[in-house]
Amino acid sequence: MGRTGHQCLSSGNPDLILTSCNRYFIFHKFGNLNFLSIMRVLVLGGNSEIGFAAAEQFAVKEKAEIILASRNIKETEKKARQLVDAYGVSARAMPFDARDFDSHRDFYDRMDPKPSVVIQAFGVLMNQDECQNDFQKAKKGFDINLLGAVNILEIIAADFEDRGTGVIIGISSVAGERGRKSSYMYASSKAGLTTYLDGLRHRLYGSGARVITVLPGFVKTKMVAGRKPKFGSTPLPTTGKDIYNAWKKGKHKIYTGAKMRWIMAIVRNIPEWLVLRNRNI
Ligand SMILES: NC(=O)c1ccc[n+]([C@@H]2O[C@H](COP(=O)([O-])OP(=O)(O)OC[C@H]3O[C@@H](n4cnc5c(N)ncnc54)[C@H](OP(=O)(O)O)[C@@H]3O)[C@@H](O)[C@H]2O)c1
């Protein structure tokens, strides 16, 4: 990757027309030719506040083109416009539904050129009581948090593997590290996602493509509105910066915020008998 100074380049492909200054470019080598292209970041679940905070970092620091993909397309378009206005980058919205598995291949095939970074940010906080009492509610949560992620990321991973480049950033949760009676439905969907991302990282290792797992603790977003954090919360901008820095520094797996990795080291090691006796978690 390199940085260019003041220049305007153009080619037959409209996506390779570079009009602004001091942008970062990714250099792709094809035989003896070097092609320059803008870094392109796809946010799956582009209305996610965490996903958007990470996208802002790529917009500010890499002047990347941002593609926000989500269900509520009106909201996604508004957010894309915000990025254009605030950071002067290219940004656009695409409809994407994690539960509409059959649409995923077509969704990705239609992306031309392909992204170099994909942030998988969609997710739902599953209501434990509802999911215990109604399997369809539980299934809906697993379909989004786990199966939707697996389906679209397998398609993207195959493309990244073929091209020998690309970074997948999967947003899972610390909740997946320990099952508790108050939240084990959501937690197990995230545990599945974390393990899936571990395996995908292992598969792609050495191919040129990378996988980063992000494990946030509590971040004040619309997802957790009205809830109180048990171990404090990580500010949204810090979470966005941590995700960007994980990409920049070539990390494999990160907790967001300064304290969370230490808190989780303790939580993971609390003996099971002690967890079982605590009825308030
Ligand atoms: N906030 C936290 O404390 C916290 C902690 C740990 C992990 N996480 C994880 O971080 C990720 C982002 O969460 P957030 O806090 O940013 O929550 P958020 O602002 O509520 O964003 C979640 C987004 O997921 C999208 N989504 C839901 N179902 C979808 C579907 N079927 N297809 C496509 N998009 C769908 C929604 O988009 P639409 O608006 O388009 O429906 C929603 O905006 C989630 O995976 C969450 O589990 C969050």
pLDDT attached to residue 232: 83
- Arithmetic mean of pLDDT, 18-41: 50
Average pLDDT, the chain: 89
Closest of 134, 135, 69 to residue 100, by C-alpha: 69
Q: Which atom of ligand 1 is nearest to the CA of 48?
A: 21
Write out pLDDT tens, residues 235-257. Answer: 999 999 999 999 999 999 999 99
pLDDT attached to residue 231: 80
If you take atom 11 of ligand 1, which residue's CA is the nearest one?
A: 121
pLDDT attached to residue 88: 97
pLDDT-based confidence at residue 24 (cuts at 50, 70, 90): very low
Q: Is the pLDDT of residue 8 over 60?
A: no
Higher pLDDT, 194 or 12: 194
In the chain, CATH 3.40.50.720 covers 39-277
If you take atom 1 of ligand 1, which residue's CA is the nearest one?
A: 219
If you take atom 44 of ligand 1, which residue's CA is the nearest one?
A: 123
pLDDT attached to residue 230: 81
If you take atom 47 of ligand 1, which residue's CA is the nearest one?
A: 123
Write out pLDDT tens, residues 161-184. Answer: 999 999 999 999 999 999 999 999
Q: What is the CATH number of domain 39-277?
A: 3.40.50.720
pLDDT attached to residue 224: 97
Does the pTM surpass 0.85? The reply is yes
- Listing from the earlier edge strand, what are the strands of the sheet with 40-44? 91-95, 65-70, 40-44, 117-120, 167-171, 210-215, 253-255
Q: Which atom of ligand 1 is nearest to the CA of 229?
A: 3
Q: Is the pLDDT of residue 50 over 50?
A: yes
- Lining residues, ligand 1, CB within 6 Å: 45, 47-51, 70-72, 75, 96-99, 121-124, 144, 171, 173, 216, 218-219, 221-224
pLDDT attached to residue 36: 59
By most ligand atoms within 8 Å of CB, the mutation choice from 194, 221, 228, 263 for ligand 1 is 221
Q: Is the pLDDT of residue 7 over 80?
A: no
pLDDT attached to residue 14: 29
Q: Is the pLDDT of residue 215 over 80?
A: yes
Q: Which atom of ligand 1 is nearest to the CA of 47?
A: 43
Closest of 206, 59, 202, 185 to residue 119, by C-alpha: 59
CA of 277 to the centre of ligand 1 (A): 32
- Arithmetic mean of pLDDT, 82-96: 98
CA of 216 to the centre of ligand 1 (A): 12
